[in-house]
Amino acid sequence: MDKIIVSVGLFFFLNLTTIQTSNSSSSDVDHLNNIINQKQFNKLEKLKGKLESDVLTRWVHYETLLHSITRNPDTPLVEKKLHEFIKENPDHQFSEKLIKSYLNKLDKIVRSSEHLKNKVMNLPNASFKDTVTSVTCLKNTGLEIDPEKFQRLVVENETSTGCQWLIKEWLSKKKLGSRFYIDRARYAANSGDLKFSLQILDLLKRRFDKNVVKANESLVLKIIHKSRRNSRGAYRLFKNNEKKFSSQQKSYLLLQLGTAFFGITHSKSWNLLIQGLDSVAQHPSSTLEIVARMALRKGDFKIFHQAYTSFPDETKKKDNWKYWGAVRSYKKGQFSKAKEQFHDLTDKQNFYAYLANYQVNKSKEYKTTNRSFVLTNPVLSENNISWAKNDHLKDILKLFKSQTFSIALPEWRFFIKDFSTQELLSLASYLSDIQIYDRSISAAIYSQANIGFKLRYPLVYKDAVIKACKGNKVPPWLVMGLIRQESRFNKEIKSSAGAIGLMQILPKTALETYNKNQSELDLTSSTQNIYIGTKYLNKLLNQFNSSIPLSLAAYNAGPSRAKKWHANFSKYNTSPAMFIESIPFKETREYVQTVIISSAIYEELFADIMLERRIEKKNIILNVSEILSKL
């Protein structure tokens, strides 16, 4: 950040005896962080009541209470403190996190769902309390509920504490058939809870006839569990025991392993999937989505259809599967249905809205709105909220500056949740003025206003971008879209992997690209960072034959992975959009989609600048259709 709000008055020194003022400095946040990271909770306890900052006080209370819950949740003192915290912060994400932690820790020591349920029912009301799946399931223990509601509660929630109690209750009473509970055990193993999945098997053997659980089912669960962490190890375990499994178990494991191998682009992935297709409808939605992506990568809409028709309704409602469901209808010759499905997406502002718009209108450009809409900023009243004097905002910004994101983000959401559209746009404008663009963009997006695209897509560092792009033959709006996604224009940000600055460049990559001595390297310099990042992006574009989707995938996940994904992608009956959807890493998939749409919007915002500087539009115009025209 180029500027940060400076606290007025005395800065306090964070120690065990005195807190002088609520105007906390960034060093105070860092000091608090150090105390928490070193697990010095006695020091934190002594700070209670001495902090005048509401934000820092809540943070200290949250951390000390979380520590107490972790040590021993079932004490009157912990229960009292938790109730007090929730009452004081009923709408805060910290309360939700504490409730979840409380339930998980209690679950390990209580012996009955009734005891756990009583603890939950006694919790103070909070806006999110009934939306916590575990709480909802616990509330329904001991009640007569219909099987449909029970299944709706527990299916794909097998790792939720409350739902596990509800499953065990119904299983103990032999409600529903054994097949249902075997599926719950497999889903739990797939989600990472092997212990509970094995508990289900043990309970099945005791409550039902022992023969309902096939031999080696516990081994099936272990392979399922292992496949999501170590796919090669799981495959070896399967091959060593293949002859022991029933045909149903074998089919299930083959598809499970095929989808697990997809994540590492293993050569056996597709063949294993084909061999296990008979079991497709038995798998959880997370596995079915992988099957659908594998089918799109191969251009196989027959297998895509099998996965799609097995999706739960909630999965089908996701924008990506709405779009590909429409493509499926089109492929089947159901043109009117497909057009209707495409049209349902066109009012949104995301990657799939563009794809749907193109199908409906066969337009060559992504029309987010008319040009005046894109380029117009809101007219804001000078008499609006005085953000510069807002202590709450100051403290939140210091949390972001220190990159304490686990605390900063919940505080930010809590801060803006009740603001009107006008207040959010006013806040976004203020933050843009003081060059805190990441929060400015966030506030503008949260407003959901049909104005203010320049706040969502600021033209920051445009001169440095244009200069770097001239020498590297990279479209400037592509670089702007990439910077917006990588750093939200925060030049000081550093990732956990060590990537630095606007274009999030690793020092090793910078040295290889820049051809300068390390002493000359300063990735926090906006000019140098943009130059090196643009040069590296140009290198990737050359390496991947000017394919923007592949180059962006390589920028995010590394060139070697992008090469593997491309080599494994069918050249028949496919499209660049299908390639993007088939990227196995969620982060990379969403990264590519977001940068593409941001770049298309920046093309609109850049157009006037390009004309003013007499740069030929035809050499730099970029739109989503052109991006997706080449892979």
Q: Report yes or no on 204 lying in a domain.
A: no
Out of 486, 581, 603, 604, the active site residue is 486
- The CA dihedral of 61, 67, 72, 78, to the nearest 10 degrees, is 0
- The CA dihedral of 591, 596, 599, 603, to the nearest 10 degrees, is -170
Q: Report yes or no on 60 lying in a domain.
A: no
- In this structure, what CATH number is given to the domain that contains residue 531? 1.10.530.10
- pLDDT, residue 5, reads 29
pLDDT digits (tens, 9 = 90+) for 475-489: 999 999 999 999 999
- pLDDT, residue 595, reads 96
Domain ends where: 316, 331, 359?
316
- Rounded to whole angstroms, the Cα distance separating 459 from 602 reads 8
Told to judge if 96 belongs to the known catalytic residues of this protein, a careful annotator would answer: no
Q: Report yes or no on 589 lying in a domain.
A: yes
Contact call for residues 202 and 180 (beta carbons, < 8 A)? no
Judged on CB neighbours under 10 Å (0-12, 13-18, 19+), 362 is exposed
What is the per-residue DSSP string for 234-273?
Answer: HHHHHHHHGGGS-HHHHHHHHHHHHHHHHTTT-TTHHHHH
Average pLDDT over residues 568-591: 93
- Rounded to whole angstroms, the Cα distance separating 86 from 65 reads 11
Which of 32-41, 85-94, 291-300, 382-391 is the least confident region?
Answer: 382-391
Tell me 521's DSSP state.
-
- pLDDT, residue 611, reads 59
Q: Report yes or no on 552 lying in a domain.
A: yes
Average pLDDT over residues 24-32: 78
Average pLDDT over residues 280-303: 98
- pLDDT, residue 604, reads 79
The domain in which residue 230 lies consists of 223-316
- Rounded to whole angstroms, the Cα distance separating 424 from 440 reads 9
Question: Whole-prediction pTM value?
Answer: 0.89
- For 435, left (φ over 0), alpha (ψ -120 to 50), or beta? left
- Rounded to whole angstroms, the Cα distance separating 152 from 191 reads 17
- Rounded to whole angstroms, the Cα distance separating 122 from 142 reads 16
- Rounded to whole angstroms, the Cα distance separating 605 from 83 reads 50
- Rounded to whole angstroms, the Cα distance separating 236 from 198 reads 21
Give which of 190, 151, 189 is closest to 286, Cα–Cα. 190
Single-letter residue type at 126: A
Domain ends where: 298, 316, 334?
316
- pLDDT, residue 366, reads 42
For residue 494, give both structure tokens.
């550093």
Place of tokens 């990441």: 438
Give which of 621, 447, 462, 603 is closest to 595, Cα–Cα. 603
381 versus 169: the higher-pLDDT residue is: 169
Backbone angles phi, psi at 260, to 5 degrees: -70, -40
- pLDDT, residue 621, reads 33
Contact call for residues 160 and 138 (beta carbons, < 8 A)? no
Single-letter residue type at 514: Y
Average pLDDT over residues 579-584: 97
Backbone angles phi, psi at 420, to 5 degrees: -75, 170
Backbone angles phi, psi at 493, to 5 degrees: -70, 145
Is residue 111 very low, low, confident or very high in pLDDT (cuts 50, 70, 90)? Answer: confident
End-to-end CA distance of the chain: 36
Average pLDDT over residues 172-183: 95
What is the per-residue DSSP string for 410-472?
Answer: HHHHHHHTT--HHHHHHHHHHHHHTT-HHHHHHHHHHHT-SS-HHHHS--TTHHHHHHHHHHH
Is residue 429 very low, low, confident or very high in pLDDT (cuts 50, 70, 90)? Answer: very high
- Rounded to whole angstroms, the Cα distance separating 428 from 409 reads 16
Q: How far is CA 347 from CA 11, 373, 607, in A?
A: 49, 14, 24
The alpha carbon of residue 80 and the mean position of all alpha carbons in its chain are separated, in whole angstroms, by 34
Q: Report yes or no on 401 lying in a domain.
A: no
Contact call for residues 487 and 493 (beta carbons, < 8 A)? yes
CA angle 354, 548, 318 (to 5 degrees): 35
- pLDDT, residue 23, reads 53
- Rounded to whole angstroms, the Cα distance separating 439 from 434 reads 11
Q: How many CB atoms lie within 10 A of CB 462?
A: 17
What is the per-residue DSSP string for 49-92?
Answer: TT---HHHHHHHHHHHHHHHHHH---SHHHHHHHHHHHHH-TT-
- pLDDT, residue 128, reads 65
167 versus 348: the higher-pLDDT residue is: 167
Place of tokens 């000081």: 492
Average pLDDT over residues 265-291: 98
Single-letter residue type at 217: E
Q: Is the pLDDT of residue 167 over 70?
A: yes
Work out the mean pLDDT of the chain and round it to a whole number.
Answer: 88
- pLDDT, residue 4, reads 31
Total domains, the chain = 2
- Rounded to whole angstroms, the Cα distance separating 432 from 437 reads 5
- pLDDT, residue 622, reads 40
Contact call for residues 69 and 102 (beta carbons, < 8 A)? yes
Q: How many CB atoms lie within 10 A of CB 117?
A: 21
Q: Report yes or no on 14 lying in a domain.
A: no
Q: How far is CA 334 from CA 322, 341, 450, 486, in A?
A: 15, 11, 34, 40
pLDDT digits (tens, 9 = 90+) for 114-163: 989 998 888 887 666 556 788 899 999 999 999 999 999 999 999 999 99
Taking the CA of residue 206 as centre, how many other CA atoms within 13 Å lie in the half-sphere pointing to its CB? 10
Q: Report yes or no on 8 lying in a domain.
A: no
Give which of 28, 12, 15, 20 is closest to 401, Cα–Cα. 28
Q: Report yes or no on 116 lying in a domain.
A: no
